[in-house]
Structure 1
Amino acid sequence: MKQFDADQCNRALAFRTLIPALREAFDKGASVPLRHTHTIESQGVQGTTLIMPAWNEAGFFGVKTINIFPANGAQNLPGLHATYVLYSATTGVPLALIDGDAITARRTAGAAALGADFLARKDARRLLVLGAGRIAALVPGAMRAVRDIEHVDIWNPRPVRAAVLAESLRKQGIPATPLEGGLDALEAAVRQADIISCATLAEAPLIQRDWLQPGAHLDLIGSFKPTMTEAAPECFLDTEVYVDTDEAALKSGDLLNAFATGRFATSDIRATLEQLCRGQRPGRTDDQAITVFKAVGSALEDLTAAVQVFQKG
């Protein structure tokens, strides 16, 4: 069985090849059961583990185990840790053990960019990223693979982390500015942004509906369970809402809170990534519309990334 570390994954998963691979995977489809979710509690600390299997007709079967511990930030540890095991789907033989953190981060940013390619305005130039973790750090590079992003603003509840990320991005040649201040600074940045990408573990809304300007694209990729939310319920009203998979409507606190208003329903969701990639539903058709993309992640994305790492290795 081969083993691939984070560096090998990062080299194999350049966004210029990963995003088209994700588009093709959503077009072709795969078998993706609902994920298993378990709450882990020990020594007064609580986390969540997700077990995410998927297999395809190309003969690959994979299982990701991902652990999310939001309190890790206080210990300067990433909030997510994952492992991925790739098998033959025809024999069950283990093929590879792959760094799940790298796969998760890169496929999440890649899927966000894939969504933005359908939903963000073609002339989108200014990106705002909420968060400063592993996934947030990859979003600018992913978005620049599908749009000509000229400037990136970074906002984080801990401004020092935003400053560190902005400096790292500038070293990569990406113009980036850390935002100082609290929600006032965030509001001003949202009002100026063409794409707002939220990659946080927030449990209370950060984005308010009246901050979103005509033509904006709101990308929500951080929250993945009912207790987590990054946008106020009103953000889903009078906007064009899309999801990565139907599972988002079952898992996402953002969507569940919007449903609870009684003014938004599953029937108001315009399309999934699968429907967009297959051409079954249109993406953005009006430059003045506000589009919202809510993703909770899919094991299809993990499998796609894992196979790409394995085949390039």
Structure 2
Amino acid sequence: MASQPPPFPSNQPFVHLDSPTLNMLLSLDLLIHHLLTALPALLPSIHFVPHRVPSPSSSTTTSSSTSPASSPSPNAVFLKTCWSTNPSLPYLSVGMLTEFPSNSPLFPDKHYIVSLFHSPTGVPLASLDGAPIFFFSIAALSGLASFLLSLHSSKTLLIIGSVEKAYLITAHRIARPSINHIIVYNPNISQAVDFVLELISREPASSSVTFDYAKNLDDVIGLADIVCCALCEATNSPIVKGSLLKPGAHLDLVGSLASEMKECDDDALSRGRVFVDEVAMDAAGTFVNFVNFAGTLTELAGVKKQGRKTNDEVTVFKTFGSTKVHLLVAQFAYESYIKLSNL
């Protein structure tokens, strides 16, 4: 959504956009289109500064030299500041992620809030629930990559894992409306079955799309035109074996920054032309050092890099979810809210 800058913020009240409001305001269809134009035009002007603030130790060190020093608390706050210097994107955002591993089961151990400010004046504009911002961002990135790289005739989508899977399925179906078969794999078979039943319950009665779950991943990888791996549990064994990918497949890798996370083997990277988002470009040497590294999603969207060259070529996209993109999604949500509210 290429938009005009909103009116000067003194005319607008500060707003809080909670999760239900964001789910109403945000559309993956429109977000994918927004990122297609915004990534090459605006992303280079967004500057990212991360900062980790550990909590003080819960115990104090005594004056006795024989007393052990207190252990630092594992609790921490991560501040993720993004500042746009482009006049058409007059925003800065501060994402605050709290991480408290020792929380009881009554509370999640992570919470995320995005605060949006008017960058020319520093005036606060909005706070936004961070969970929808994160999920919509990562799904829109994957959907855009699928739109630019997967075969237009893609029919079978294999989704592997995790909490983002509903958003990711929607994004890939938007990118490729030809998808008519969705296969779900989860190491926990009961979770896979439950999710398939949930998908079926959501599907319109007139739909011809079929849904299945797989007990053995290796048996179904070769059936899929698009393989989306979003299994975030750490594993020392590669999840996706490149030798099993069908010619022309698109491999979408959505996962952790952890070094022990092996989403695919070297064969998958050797077979495919590899594109990454800008966070993966900074953090994932495994991908950027590969001989088939082809560029970033921003370069692909800006037609500075060529995508798929042949129908038999395997393509690979890796995303961790870009904090810079969180600013673009927050912008989209905030400006949509202002427009709908006639503020």
TM-score (norm 1): 0.85
What is residue 53 of structure 1 aligned with on the other side? 81
Contact 1:53/1:64, CA 8 A, preserved across alignment = yes
Shift of 1:132: 3.5
The 3-state SS of whatever aligns with 1:145 is helix
Structure 1: gaps (5+ residues): 260-264
Structure 1 residues 50, 129: closer, same or farther in 2, change over 3 A?
farther
Partner of 2:27: 14
Residue equivalent to 2:228: 197
Answer yes or no: is 1:89 the counterpart of 2:119. Answer: yes
State the partner residue of 2:280. Answer: 248
Give the distance between the partners of 1:166 and 1:45, measured in 2 at CA: 40
* Residues 1:166 and 2:200 aligned together: no
Correspondence for 1:231:
264
Distance in 2, Cα, partners of 1:197 & 1:291: 12
Question: Match for residue 321 of structure 2?
Answer: 297
Mapped partners of 1:47, 1:137: distance in 2:
30
Pair 177,36 (structure 1): closer, same or farther in 2 beyond 3 Å:
farther
Which residue is equivalent to 1:105?
135
Is contact 1:167–1:176 with CA below 8 Å preserved after alignment?
no
Asked if the contact 1:64–1:82 (Cα under 8 Å) also holds between the matched residues in 2, the reply is yes
Secondary structure in 2 matching 1:94: strand
User: Residues 261-276 of structure 1 correspond to what in structure 2 (within 5 A)?
Assistant: 265=289, 268-276=292-300
Q: Could you tell me how far 1:268 is from its partner in structure 2?
A: 3.7
SS in 2 for 1:33: strand
Residue 68 of structure 2 aligns with which residue?
none
The answer on whether the counterparts of 2:48 and 2:324 sit within 8 Å (CA) in structure 1 is no
Q: Would the alpha carbon gap of residues 166 and 24 (structure 1) be closer, same or farther in structure 2, given more than 3 Å must change?
A: same
Aligned pair partner of 1:222 in 255, 268, 284? 255
| Counterparts in 2 of 1:228 and 1:70: CA distance versus 1, 3 Å | farther
Q: 1:127 to 1:95 in 2, by over 3 A?
A: same
> Among residues 186, 209, 217, which one is paired with 1:156 in the alignment?
186
2:248 counterpart SS class: coil
Structure 1 counterpart SS, 2:171: helix
Superposed CA offset, 1:140-198 (max 9, x none):
111111102112111112122222222222222174535242xxx11111110000111
The correspondence for 2:211, drawn from 166, 177, 187, is: 177
Secondary structure class of the residue paired with 1:237: helix
Pair 1:24–1:140, CA change in 2 (3 A):
same
Whether 1:283 and 2:283 are equivalent positions in the alignment is: no
Count how many residue pairs are aligned between Structure 1 and Structure 2.
299
Structure 2, unmatched stretches of 5+, are: 1-13, 59-70, 338-343
Task: Measure the CA separation in 2 of the matches of 1:236 and 1:37.
Answer: 32
Return the alpha-carbon distance in structure 2 between the equivalents of residues 208 and 76 of structure 1.
Answer: 38
Which of residues 29, 32, 39 in structure 1 aligns to 2:47? 32
Contact kept, 8 Å, 1:70 with 1:201, in 2: the verdict is no
Q: Percent identity?
A: 26
2: CA distance, partners of 1:78 / 1:139:
22
Alignment of 1:114-153 (within 5 A): 114-133=144-163, 135-148=164-177, 149-153=179-183
Distance in 2 (alpha carbons) for counterparts of 1:70 and 1:144: 35
Aligned partner of 2:93 in structure 1 is 62
Contact 2:93 2:116 in 1 (8 A): yes
Output the CA distance in 1 between the equivalents of 2:119 and 2:300. Answer: 27
Q: Contact conserved, 1:112 with 1:219, CA < 8 A, in 2?
A: yes
How far the C-alpha of 1:249 sits from its partner, in A, is: 3.9
Whole-angstrom distance in 1 between the partners of 2:102 and 2:181: 31
Distance (whole Å) between structure 1 residues aligned to residue 72 and residue 193 of structure 2: 31
Residues 246-290 of structure 1: CA deviation (Å, up to 9, x unaligned): x314423xx53x68xxxxx25641011110111111111211011
The alignment's C-alpha RMSD in Å is: 3.0
Q: Relative to structure 1, is the Cα distance of residues 198 and 3 closer, same or farther in structure 2, using a 3 angstrom cutoff?
A: same
| Structure 2 partner of 1:307 | 331
Q: What's the TM-score, normalizing by structure 2?
A: 0.78
Aligned equivalents of 1:37, 1:233: Cα separation in 2 = 32
Partner of 2:18: 5
Shift of 1:84: 0.9
Deviates more, 1:110-119 or 1:32-41: 32-41
Deviates more, 1:221-230 or 1:56-65: 221-230
> 2:320 is matched by which residue type in structure 1?
V
Structure 1 residues 14, 46: closer, same or farther in 2, change over 3 A?
A: same
